[in-house]
Structure formats: C-alpha cells, structure tokens
Amino acid sequence: MGENSVFKSEADFIAWIRRKPPRQVAGLTLGIGDDAALVTVPPGQELILTTDMSIEGVHFTAALHPPQSVGHRALARSLSDIAAMGGTPRYVLLSLAISPSTTRAWLKGFFDGLFALARRFGVAVIGGDTAVAKGPIVADAIVAGVVPLGRALRRSGARPGDQIFVTGRLGMAALGLRLLDSRARIRTPTQRAALRAHLFPQPQCALGRFLSEHRLANAMMDLSDGLSIDLKRLCDASGIGANLFANRIPAAPHLDAEDALALALHGGEDYQLLFTVSAAKSAEIPRHFGRIPIHGIGEIRAATGLDMVTPNGKTISIETRGYDHFARAARR
Amino acid sequence: MGENSVFKSEADFIAWIRRKPPRQVAGLTLGIGDDAALVTVPPGQELILTTDMSIEGVHFTAALHPPQSVGHRALARSLSDIAAMGGTPRYVLLSLAISPSTTRAWLKGFFDGLFALARRFGVAVIGGDTAVAKGPIVADAIVAGVVPLGRALRRSGARPGDQIFVTGRLGMAALGLRLLDSRARIRTPTQRAALRAHLFPQPQCALGRFLSEHRLANAMMDLSDGLSIDLKRLCDASGIGANLFANRIPAAPHLDAEDALALALHGGEDYQLLFTVSAAKSAEIPRHFGRIPIHGIGEIRAATGLDMVTPNGKTISIETRGYDHFARAARR
C-alpha cells in the first residue's frame, strides 16, 4: 500500500468510516465497532436481506469508473433489490477488499459516493469487514430492509392475463457504458442521461413501496441483467410465459431503432423495476411516478416461453442474452 | 473457467446450491432465488448482523487449505461473531467470487465444508451473490442471528474489578498454521488438535448464549486476531485497562514455554471467547462448559493499558501485535 495512500491501521480506517455515514436510523441498537451490529425489527414487519458484489474488472474498471460511481453503484445494486421486494432499506454492511496499491483518494471517492446514496435513502452503515489483498478491488454491499409482514413482492406471483410493466427507459445504462467505453465526447442530453444512468443508477425504492402498499403488483423484480433474461427469470419463478410488444418497450431515443431495442432487451444494470399487474388493476397504474415513466409492455400468458410482436407485426421468440457470470466465463 | 470444472450458468449453480443447505429454519419466509431473502424476527428478540471475508492468499491458500476447511472457516468466522454477542445464528448469505480456473471439485469441497457447519448450527443458507473474476477467491459470509432484546454482550461493558476469562487453549490455531506451513508430519495428539483448531475452528455459540442467558458476563468478544490485540480492543471499547497473569493463560502444551506464550498472546484465528465477569459473579463461571475449558487469566483495572505478570513475578507491558490488515500492508 503506497505511502500517502493508506490508513495506518484497520482501527484508523474504521475510525474514519465511523465519522462519515448517517449514524442513527430507526431500529438501530448498535452499529460499527463491536463483533456484530444489532437492530430491531418493528412488530408487523419482516426483514429483507440481500447482498451484491462489485468487482474491479467485472462490474467496474479503474480506468473508466470514477470512485464515486463505484461506491454509488455498489450500494445501488443492493438498494434496488430491496426496491424489488417493495421494501424500505435501513442498514448496510460493507465488505471491502482493496489492493496494496489502492490510494486514499480512491477510497475517499468510493465512500463519498456510497455515503451520499446511503444518506439520500436514510440508510445507516452499521458494519462490514475490510482486507488488503493483491487482486481486484471487491466490494460486497449487504443491505437489510423492512417490509410489512406478507407484503413483500416476489418473482413468483405473476398470473396469466397480468399486464407487464417496466419503469424508466431501458438500455440507457448499457448505452452509457458504450459511450464511456468509446471515450466519446458527451454532447446531447440523451448521452448525458445515459452516462448518468450507468454511473449513478437510481434505485426505485419509493415506487416499489407504493406498489406493495397499494397491493397493485402480483410479481416484481429489478432489472439488473437485462429485460430478456430477467423477464425469463420472473416467468420461470411464476411458471408462466410472456408476450411483449416491441413498440411499447421504452428504449433509448435518438438511436437506430433496432440498436435501441437490442439495448433495451439485453442491456443490463438499468436497475428499473419489472412488475406484473392483474388486468383488473392495471388501470390503476399511473403513467408516471414522480418523474419516472411507467410503461405497459406486454402480457403474461399461461404457456411458457417469451415472445415478442415486432413493429411490423411478426411474432418472434425472444432470445435471452443478458449478463450471466458463469455463462460468460464458460464462453471464454 | 475450465471444461469439466464449471456450472454452465449462474442458474445452474444456484440450482445446485439450493439442493444442498438446510432449507427451513425458524423465521425463514423466503430463501434463495428471489431478489432478496425474507425473515421474521420473533417479538422480544433483536437481530444480530455480521460479515467476514475469506480471501485466498490472505485468509487461506490453495496450496495448504483443503476446500472443506476454506468453506468451514469462512462460515465459522461469522458464527463466532454471533457467539461473541451471546446470540443464536439463524441465516447465512454467501457472496462468492471464484476465478476462471476454480474447479468444480474445489467448489463442491468448499460447500461441503460450509454446509456441514451450517447444518450443525441449524443455520440456513438463504441468499448471496456469485461472480467469476480473475484474482483470488473471495468468500464473504454474512450471518444473521437473534438474541433476546437487551441481552447482547458488547465489548464496552467491562468494569474495573471484573475477572477476565478465555475459553479453550490459545495459540492452537497459530500452531496448526505453523505445522501446516512447515509441512511437518503430524505425529502427536497436540499436533492433531492444533491442526484441527486451525482448519476447523469451532465457534462457541452455546457458551456465548449460556453467558448471555444467565447474565454472567459484562463484556465479551471473540478472539479472531490474537489475545493481545483483541483484549486491547475490548479495553479501548470499555475505557479501562487489564492485568494478565502469564502462568494462567492456557497455552499450547508440549512447546517451549516462551514460544507457547507468544502464540497464545499473538496468534490469531482461535475463535475462542474472551469475556469479563464481575468479581461477585466470577465464582459462578464453571471450569468447563461441555468439553471446553474456561480459564480466568487476569483482571480489569481502571487505568488504561495492558500489563502482564510474568512467571518470574515481573510486571511487563503487553505488546499488541495480532493481525491487522492495514498495518500489515503498511509495513510491507
């Protein structure tokens, strides 16, 4: 670890972290500094637990991603899982393995990004683990949230006849990554929005909670690996299939239509919500939630499989090719 | 990832994992397979949350540690944190980053070790994350447990006059690592015990719970980095100091006395418990808990600092040099 780059000891590092995050949120009995953290779950609530790793060279690169973005995205991935259950995030534990060459400036940037997002969602950093190891930086963000008993929205609740909805514009994060990768100069508002969608995705916790509280959705998940693979996961969990309409899928504007559709179907890391609503209730879904557009893109059917009606009226089978770590490694 | 070494996809891998662990424990509403897990915490109980990373090259090596031991130790570290709070472990989430060259045999060994320990403690594997990345294997074991409200034992509760106790024999895991490192032939029962202490440490959950339930201890933590540094952490958290008696510290037998004492003071990864008990209650501490010996090794004092009375009656200041990731990196 370089000279002016490190904390002298783990105690020094922990002392620094303890000064930064929101220190108190509902239910927190004991935060950072003991063998474990202690929290209470209010009566009538269930606890939601999720964890997501962010690994240098897989989920981010030192060359392309500012550390603020790495910290933001590490936490956003897990917050989005809480959103996908219809819950409220409360606590985060962070396991962080840095390399001997990680600089103090990088660490400060990383925590600035993570803490800013934590503050905005009222989430307290209550524990974690740290290590220095040769190899890529690995951040594992563990988030605990709460949801009223029995109200969590699962992937398995979709029923034939349900309408399928998504939030936001899909493929924007993938477009942002493409722009970042190409080191293209960012000129247009769409390009700026795409870059922001990739570097600083916004978990849809308020909307997830709204759908749970009003019992509007039958099934929900977040879009982390791409619509095609994630919708297949929802369909598999529910034992049903789906028909989509290509021209209803909200894709990136100002792009070749085919390119935009491919990004919307297979681009990952949008962290928008995918949910299904019974036909009877689908009229109650607003077209916007705050500034977030909501689009009906298709319908759940009894027969398994994913089909899509193309703009010219043909029905084609949707290929699932979002991100899969193991499949990607196997293809190499 | 090698030919006959991998799961074809993440879904394949998750399907394999889902068949293995205990599937149901108290309070589990939803386990592996959705965006997040759901658990309920019984009324009158608090939730304990902890996480510990195990990294190839830092916490274990591919050359020396069989994968069963790596899986066992990854979970044992977090279970020991729950023991240190006086709680009962219930759930584990596992984040696992493997390298493209990790074999299926290694993975099976790893999970055999982890699941065997999970079963023995009645802990369900309810979630996690997986990735394939070039670099060391990283396992992050997140454990959630429960403890009756207000009964968790912290590091900060030690008071002047408290007697200091430890469980087991200290330095055995460090001795085991030394034997492993030297590739010495294991001949004696002590050597076998030391190797077992290193490869398959036993979290002291039952004893931790006993101390909490009977309100016997004022402060507690587990010995993960070595008695000298861990006791200093407990003293710092409580704002007090300690006097130890060298000849009361239970060290490895059949070794040079000075060597054994150094291992007991500074050897890490014993995962025994360190706790303090008021003078009035210290007679209630049994000499054994099941087969685990318990030893009184000193006394808490008001003045900060750590001193030790040596076998020849001299009082010396204890140097703290257990394991610190950042300090180790800074020294390089």
Q: Which two tokens stand for residue B277?
A: 């008990």
* Pairing assessment for the beta strands A124-132 and A88-98 based on DSSP bridges: parallel
Task: Report pLDDT digits (tens) over A97-136.
Answer: 999 999 989 999 999 999 999 999 999 999 999 999 999 9
| Nearest C-alpha neighbor of A36 from the set B243, B88, B82 | B82
Looking at residue A321, its pLDDT comes to 77
- Choose the mutation target among B129, B212, B225, B324 for the interface with A, i.e. most A CBs under 10 Å: B129
- Name which CATH class applies to B3-148: alpha beta
Tell whether A42 is within 8 A of chain B (Cβ).
Answer: no
Tell whether B81 is within 8 A of chain A (Cβ).
Answer: yes
Residues of chain A with pLDDT > 90, as a percent, come to 83
Looking at residue B32, its pLDDT comes to 86
How many A×B Cβ pairs under 8 Å? 252
Looking at residue A141, its pLDDT comes to 97
pTM attached to this predicted model: 0.92
Tell whether B331 is within 8 A of chain A (Cβ).
Answer: no
Mean pLDDT of A281-306: 96
Mean pLDDT of B100-125: 93
Mean pLDDT of A52-80: 96
CA A212-A90-A232 angle, 5° bins: 45
In angstroms, what separates the C-alpha of A269 from chain B's closest C-alpha?
A: 14
Mean pLDDT of B281-296: 96
Which chain A residues contact residue B52 at CB under 8 A?
95, 129
At A104, phi and psi to the nearest 5? -60, -35
With bands split at pLDDT 50, 70 and 90, how would you rate the model's confidence at A332?
very low
Identify residue A23 by its one-letter amino acid code: R
In the predicted structure, residue B326 carries a pLDDT above the cut 80: no
Which chain A residues contact residue B12 at CB under 8 A?
326
Q: Are B202 and B183 in contact (CB under 8 A)?
A: no
Task: Report pLDDT digits (tens) over A233-282.
Answer: 999 999 999 999 999 999 999 999 999 999 999 999 999 999 999 999 99
* Pairing assessment for the beta strands B292-301 and B163-167 based on DSSP bridges: antiparallel
Looking at residue A294, its pLDDT comes to 98
* Pairing assessment for the beta strands A37-39 and B45-55 based on DSSP bridges: antiparallel
With bands split at pLDDT 50, 70 and 90, how would you rate the model's confidence at B259?
very high
Burial category of A184 from C-beta neighbours within 10 Å (exposed 0-12, middle 13-18, buried 19 and up)? exposed
In angstroms, what separates the C-alpha of B106 from chain A's closest C-alpha?
A: 16
In the predicted structure, residue B6 carries a pLDDT above the cut 60: no
| Nearest C-alpha neighbor of B60 from the set B201, B165, B184 | B201
Identify residue A93 by its one-letter amino acid code: L
| HEC-encoded secondary structure of chain B | CCHHHCCCCHHHHHHHHHCCCCCCCCCEEECCCCCCEEECCCCCEEEEEEEEEEEECCCECCCCCCHHHHHHHHHHHHHHHHHHCCCEEEEEEEEEEECCCCCHHHHHHHHHHHHHHHHHCCCEEEEEEEEECCCCCEEEEEEEEEEECCCCCCHHHCCCCCEEEEECCECHHHHHHHHHHHCCCCCCHHHHHHHHHHHCCCCCHHHHHHHHHCCCCCEEEEECCCHHHHHHHHHHHHCCEEEEEHHHCCECCCCCHHHHHHHHHHCCCCCEEEEEECCCCHHHCCCEECCEEEEEEEEEECCCEEEEECCCCCEEECCCCCCCHHHHHHHC
Residues of chain A with pLDDT > 70, as a percent, come to 90
Q: Where on the phi/psi map is residue A215: left (φ > 0), alpha (ψ -120 to 50), or beta? A: left
Tell whether B105 is within 8 A of chain A (Cβ).
Answer: no
With bands split at pLDDT 50, 70 and 90, how would you rate the model's confidence at B29?
confident
* Pairing assessment for the beta strands A272-277 and A292-301 based on DSSP bridges: unpaired
| Nearest C-alpha neighbor of A37 from the set A90, A111, A87 | A90
Mapping DSSP to helix (H, G, I), strand (E, B) and coil, where does residue A251 land? Answer: strand
With bands split at pLDDT 50, 70 and 90, how would you rate the model's confidence at B322?
low
Mean pLDDT of A319-328: 66
With bands split at pLDDT 50, 70 and 90, how would you rate the model's confidence at B311?
confident
Q: What does the alpha-carbon distance between residue A106 and residue A1 come to, in Å, rounded to a whole number?
A: 12
Looking at residue B20, its pLDDT comes to 65
Mean pLDDT of B233-239: 96
Mean pLDDT of B182-190: 92
Q: What does the alpha-carbon distance between residue A92 and residue B225 come to, in Å, rounded to a whole number?
A: 24
In angstroms, what separates the C-alpha of B147 from chain A's closest C-alpha?
A: 9
Of residues B329 and A202, more confidently modeled: A202
The ranges assigned to domains in chain A are 3-148, 155-331
Looking at residue B314, its pLDDT comes to 95
Looking at residue B2, its pLDDT comes to 36
Tell whether B34 is within 8 A of chain A (Cβ).
Answer: yes
At A277, phi and psi to the nearest 5? -135, 135
CB-based contact B130 A325, cutoff 8 Å = yes
Q: Are B277 and B216 in contact (CB under 8 A)?
A: yes
Place of tokens 């299926």: B104
Q: What does the alpha-carbon distance between residue B168 and residue B250 come to, in Å, rounded to a whole number?
A: 7
The third-level CATH classification (topology) of the domain covering B155-331 is Phosphoribosyl-aminoimidazole Synthetase; Chain A, domain 2 (3.90.650)
Which chain A residues contact residue B47 at CB under 8 A?
38-41, 47, 144
Of residues B325 and B230, more confidently modeled: B230
Task: Report pLDDT digits (tens) over B140-152.
Answer: 999 999 999 999 9
Identify residue B315 by its one-letter amino acid code: T
Give the range among A46-50, B5-9, B223-227, B262-266 with minimum mean pLDDT.
B5-9
Residues in CB range of B283: below 8 A, 6 or more apart = none
Q: Are B68 and B77 in contact (CB under 8 A)?
A: no
At A244, phi and psi to the nearest 5? -110, 160
CB-based contact A221 B327, cutoff 8 Å = no
